[in-house]
Amino acid sequence: MDWSKTLVKEEINFEADKKGRKLSYAAAIREALELAMTSDERVFIMGQGVDDPVGMFGITLDLHKKYGQERVFDTPLSENALTGVAIGAAVAGMRPVYMHNRPDFLLLAMDQIVNHAAKWSYMFGGSVRAPLVIWACVGRGWGGAAQHTQTLQGLFMHIPGLRLVMPTTPYDAKGLLITGIADNNPVIILEHRWLLRQSGYVPEGLYSIPFGCGVVRRQGKDITIVAISYMVVEALGAARELEKQGIDAEVIDPRTLRPLDEAIILESVKKTGRLVVADTGWKTGGVGAEITALVAEKGFEYLKAPVRRVTTLDIPTPASDVLEAKFYTGKADIIVSCSEIMEKKVTK
C-alpha cells in the first residue's frame, strides 16, 4: 500500500491548541522521518553527520540504530556525486532524504539538482519520477561568514521542476516534510537554524500539509506583511509593536515558495492596500522581488502605497558579531518599513 495516500490533511493555526502535545522543532522533524521510514521501506536517509552523536541538531538522532546503516548512513564530502546517487535511487523507485548541514554545499551539486533532478519528469513526459527530498539548514549567528550562512531560496525558486519549502513552526516542519517525502517530485526544504530553538503544537501520527497553501499567522486590516521562514517570528513581533502605534498588520506565511500561494497574498493586499515582504535572503533577484512582481502584475489596483522589501544587504555575510547585527534585518526594520509606507500613497 502507498502510505502517502493515507495521509490525514490537517490545518492548525500558529496559536492553536496550546494545551496539546508540544515538540521542539528538531524533534518534529525527527518524528516525521521516523514515521515515514516505518511506513515505507523505500525511504532512507543519507548525508554528512546523520549518524553522528548529536544527529544533525537532533534531527536524525539514533535513527541509524533503529533502521540500520543501510537506511541511515553518513556520506563522503562529494555533494555533486552523492546528489547523483540520490537522484539515481529516486528514479529507480526509492525515496531518499539527502540531509545537508548548510545550503551553501548545495552549490556543489547544482548540476545534479538543476539539470537532472528538476528535469527528469518533464523530459520523459511524466513516465520517470525523481521523488527526492533535499534538506538543508540555514546558518546564522555563529560566525559562519560568507560561505556557511547563505540563504539561497532565490536561486532554487527560479528553477521549474523543483518544489521549495520553508517552514516556520514545528507543526509545519513535520507536516511539510511528510508531504515532501510522499511527493513524486524533487523537493528542497530549507530550514532556519534559529527556528530549531522553537517548540510548538505537533499532532501525533502521519499528517500532511498541502504544498502551495499559505497561512494567515495574524489577521489585520491596515498592512500586509508577507514573511518567509524565521522572518515570520520577526514579523509577528513587529505586528505587536505596530499595534501600539495604531497600525493593524496582517502576517502571511507562504510556507512553500514553489508552488507559491498567490491567492492568499493577493486577497490580503486587496484588504489592506499595503505590502511589506520580509525575507531572510538578499534583495536583488530574490523571493521579495518575485512576490513584489506578483502583486504589481495581479494586484496593482489594490495598492495604496509603494511596496517595501525587508531583506539582507546585497553583500556576502560578514563573520563578526558587530557586522552581523548590521547585516541581518528583523523586527525593527519591519516596523520602520510599515510605519513609513502607512504615510505614503501611490499615484496612479
Domains of the chain: 14-208 (3.40.50.970), 215-341 (3.40.50.920)
Question: Above 60 in pLDDT, residue 181?
Answer: yes
**Which tens digits make up the pLDDT trace of 145-173?**
888 889 999 999 999 999 999 999 999 99
Distance between CA atoms of 334 and 224, rounded to whole angstroms?
11
Instruction: Fill in the amino acid letter for 238.
Output: A
> What's the confidence (pLDDT) of residue 19?
65
Q: What percent of the chain has pLDDT over 90?
A: 81
The H or E element spanning position 207 is strand 207-208
Q: Which residue has the higher pLDDT, 57 or 35?
A: 35
> What's the confidence (pLDDT) of residue 174?
98
> What's the confidence (pLDDT) of residue 12?
38
Of the pLDDT bands very low, low, confident and very high (cuts 50, 70, 90), residue 347 is low
> What's the confidence (pLDDT) of residue 320?
86
Grid cell digits, residue 62: 539514533
> What's the confidence (pLDDT) of residue 13?
44
> What's the confidence (pLDDT) of residue 224?
98
Average pLDDT, the chain: 92
> What's the confidence (pLDDT) of residue 6?
46
Would you say 266 and 299 are in contact if contact means Cβ atoms under 8 Å apart? Answer: yes
Of the pLDDT bands very low, low, confident and very high (cuts 50, 70, 90), residue 338 is very high
> What's the confidence (pLDDT) of residue 102?
86
> What's the confidence (pLDDT) of residue 1?
35
Of the pLDDT bands very low, low, confident and very high (cuts 50, 70, 90), residue 286 is very high
Beta strands in the chain (DSSP E): 8-9, 22-24, 43-47, 72-73, 95-100, 133-138, 163-165, 187-192, 199-201, 207-208, 215-218, 223-227, 249-253, 256-258, 275-282, 308-312
Of the pLDDT bands very low, low, confident and very high (cuts 50, 70, 90), residue 18 is low
Distance between CA atoms of 289 and 257, rounded to whole angstroms?
13
Q: 79 an active-site residue?
A: yes
Q: 297 an active-site residue?
A: no
> What's the confidence (pLDDT) of residue 10?
40
> What's the confidence (pLDDT) of residue 11?
39
> What's the confidence (pLDDT) of residue 101?
82
**Which tens digits make up the pLDDT trace of 245-273?**
999 999 999 999 999 999 999 999 999 99
pTM, 2 dp:
0.93
Query: Catalytic pick from 31, 148, 192, 234?
Result: 148
**Which tens digits make up the pLDDT trace of 42-55?**
999 999 999 998 88
Q: Which of 15-19, 87-91, 182-186 has the lowest mean pLDDT?
A: 15-19
Distance between CA atoms of 288 and 294, rounded to whole angstroms?
10
Query: Catalytic pick from 79, 191, 234, 324?
Result: 79
> What's the confidence (pLDDT) of residue 325?
85
**Which tens digits make up the pLDDT trace of 204-219?**
999 999 999 999 999 9
